[in-house]
Amino acid sequence: MLKGKTAVITGASTGIGKAIALEMAENGANIAIIYIGDENLAVDVKKQAEHFGVKAEVYECDVSDFEISKAICEKIVADFGSVDILVNNAGIIRDNLLLRMSESDFDAVISVNLKGVFNLTKHLSRSIMRSGCGRIINISSVSGMMGNPGQANYSAAKAGVIGLTKTTAKEFASKNVTCNAIAPGFVVTDMTANLPQAVKDYADNSIPLKRMGTPEEIAGVVVFLASDKSSYITGEVIRVDGGMCM
């Protein structure tokens, strides 16, 4: 489905990003794995991806840093020759009630979760446009659609991702580049594993499908949006939330 394409995935060493990277590799895409932190986790994803016969490389990058992101994007284009697909998945949480939230925690989440999307999109846009059928997929959240107590920073960033997605879709459409967002609900990852059991129970009971999603269920939608089968979809926000936000 994606044979011969090159995809860049941020936050690709764990969780949803890892599932996206491996699903894309399984479907034939060469992948650039952007991570920060534990290099061993990223290298493990690279090795798993290479089992599918594709090219995979790892790049450590703080996506919130404009100049560092630019340098890494230039290296990726040099290493792969071109980029066709960008998946902006990197994200952090610094949860607290608004009255208790520090400025630094607000700024950190906005910088990674929103500015990081801007940085990678800007720095890779020319290569993606040259592909003739580029795809940009941004991972937002249902928190950005309906808000969530304790997540003023995260909800604001993810709502901003939706606005950025729609603007990017309008600006890039003339180059046959589509840009869409996915809004996951509760997904079983290391991030949600640390939630109090009471919160997990509430989530399960409030979701019509009565369970959390899996990273692979998000990855399947990403691959669809990256493929030619989604060529007439742009500026859309697709919820993958078990009916939580309908």
Question: Would you please indicate which residues are annotated as catalytic (active-site) residues?
Answer: 154
User: 140, exposed or middle or buried, with CB in 10 Å at 0-12, 13-18, 19+?
Assistant: buried
Rounded CA separation 242/231 (Å): 25
Query: Dihedrals φ, ψ of 153, to 5°?
Result: -70, -50
For residue 7, what are the CA distances in angstroms to 27, 34, 45, 140, 227? 11, 11, 14, 18, 11
Strand bridging mode 85-88 / 135-139: parallel
* Cβ atoms within 10 Å, residue 210: 11
